[in-house]
A = this chain, B = another copy of it.
Amino acid sequence: MRTRQVIVKELPKGSLSEDHFEMSEAELPTVQDGEVLVRTILMSIDAANRAWMQGATYREAILAGDAMHTGSLCEVMESKSTRLAVGDIVFAESVWADHSVISARKAAKMPRVPQLSHLMSVFGIAGKTAFHGLISVGKPVPGETVVVSAAAGSVGVYVGQIAKAMGCRVVGIAGGAQKGAWLVDELGFDACVDYRDPAWSKALKAACPEGIDIYFDNVGGSVLETVLFRMNERGRIVCCGAVSQYDSTRPSGPRNLPGMIVVKRLRMEGFIVMDFAADDAKAVRAMQNWVASGAIKVQEDIVEGLENAPAALIGLLAGDNRGKRMVRVGADA
């Protein structure tokens, strides 16, 4: 069987562009014992896709000629595994393609839910990342001030809404006044500052009159540097990503690190969502309750068509998305 797939033609040396990708066709291997053939329904688009092109992280690096890796929701079409049956919906580590043959060990069976995309957003990695990072790493106390960068992003929208639901003051950092207005008016953030405004550091100070207790950092770089100056003593920085650094050949560290950590006795801590897998059921239950009560609104940003995946990723790195970005490759089962 043949499939369309998007390969990384060349690894980017600087900014990522569509020229680094190529749509190609490939003959799929025959399904072996322990493997399944899957049909892609939705692919998750993440800043991490770009990081994987920089070298090995918590997963292996992507090399020129490889199909782009992705987490995806798929339907099983053929199975030579006792763990999965035809028709199962799985969350799979696969590639940007219409169909893939993968090890059944790389596919987790998902429940049937009214809207599949929710498994990728509020009840998926985005929502769990927000929940575990904010609660288990940040340890918020009601009344504290929580700042989140990439606030309109897949994780940021939930970090802010969870923090509000817990009784914190919430300030977002996002690019552009429109996004900021949307976060305040639609999602209930107390304020939002636009890091593209040269005077944004003053705006941040004004928006956080009692300083910052928790900073949920998705971007690193100069935004992190600016926020560090406003942190309260004993503040916590939840390190979730460094998207400002992924698409750059000249990464730069905040010049006030580790100085500010010493002077203000801060804690900066990184995590990945799998570290807290034992608490996933708690996270999903909490999110279900908040969605049901209206305290949390589900935010998704779905781009149609496999061929648009490169543009969807490039746009995400530029901050185009509002909420969890996905690419729809096939119809829901």
B-binding residues in A (CB < 8 A)? 57-58, 217, 220, 224-225, 237, 239-242, 245, 251-259, 261-272, 275
Q: Say whether A220 contacts B251, CB under 8 Å.
A: no
CA distance A215 to B126 in the complex (A): 31
Contact flag A257-B259 (CB < 8 Å), given A265-B270, A268-B268: no
Contact flag A258-B242 (CB < 8 Å), given A253-B253, A263-B57: yes
Q: Say whether B270 contacts A241, CB under 8 Å.
A: no
Q: Tell me how far the C-beta of A115 lies from the nearest C-beta in chain B, rounded to whole angstroms.
A: 30
Q: Say whether A265 contacts B258, CB under 8 Å.
A: no
Q: Tell me how far the C-beta of A126 lies from the nearest C-beta in chain B, rounded to whole angstroms.
A: 16
Contact flag A262-B275 (CB < 8 Å), given A253-B255, A255-B252, A269-B268: no
Q: Say whether B258 contacts A270, CB under 8 Å.
A: yes
Contact flag A239-B261 (CB < 8 Å), given A269-B266, A269-B267, A270-B266: yes
Q: Say whether B259 contacts A245, CB under 8 Å.
A: yes
Which residues does chain B contribute within 8 Å of A256, judged by CB atoms?
251, 253
Which residues does chain B contribute within 8 Å of A264, judged by CB atoms?
270
Among B225, B241, B267, the residue within 8 A (CB) of A267 is B267
The 4 closest A-B pairs by CB, nearest first: A253-B253, A261-B270, A239-B261, A267-B269
Q: Tell me how far the C-beta of A217 lies from the nearest C-beta in chain B, rounded to whole angstroms.
A: 6
Among B58, B237, B252, the residue within 8 A (CB) of A263 is B58
Q: Tell me how far the C-beta of A150 lies from the nearest C-beta in chain B, rounded to whole angstroms.
A: 13
Nearest CB in chain B to that of A263: its residue: B57
Q: Say whether A265 contacts B275, CB under 8 Å.
A: yes
CA distance A270 to B232 in the complex (A): 13
Known: A217-B258, A252-B255, A264-B270. 19 other contacts (CB 8 A): A58-B263, A220-B258, A220-B259, A239-B262, A240-B262, A241-B262, A242-B258, A242-B259, A258-B270, A261-B268, A261-B269, A263-B270, A265-B270, A265-B271, A266-B269, A266-B270, A267-B268, A268-B268, A269-B269
Nearest CB in chain B to that of A57: its residue: B263
CA distance A251 to B268 in the complex (A): 20
Nearest CB in chain B to that of A251: its residue: B255
CA distance A225 to B253 in the complex (A): 10
Q: Tell me how far the C-beta of A222 lies from the nearest C-beta in chain B, rounded to whole angstroms.
A: 10
Q: Say whether A242 contacts B262, CB under 8 Å.
A: yes
Q: Say whether A251 contacts B259, CB under 8 Å.
A: yes
Which residues does chain B contribute within 8 Å of A255, judged by CB atoms?
251-253
Q: Tell me how far the C-beta of A250 lies from the nearest C-beta in chain B, rounded to whole angstroms.
A: 8
Q: Give the residue among A225, A253, A262 with the most B Cβ atoms within 10 A.
A: A262
CA distance A275 to B240 in the complex (A): 27
Which residues does chain B contribute within 8 Å of A262, judged by CB atoms?
239-242, 270, 272
Which residues does chain B contribute within 8 Å of A217, judged by CB atoms?
258
Q: Tell me how far the C-beta of A53 lies from the nearest C-beta in chain B, rounded to whole angstroms.
A: 14
Q: Tell me how far the C-beta of A76 lies from the nearest C-beta in chain B, rounded to whole angstroms.
A: 32
Which residues does chain B contribute within 8 Å of A237, judged by CB atoms?
258
Q: Tell me how far the C-beta of A130 lies from the nearest C-beta in chain B, rounded to whole angstroms.
A: 15
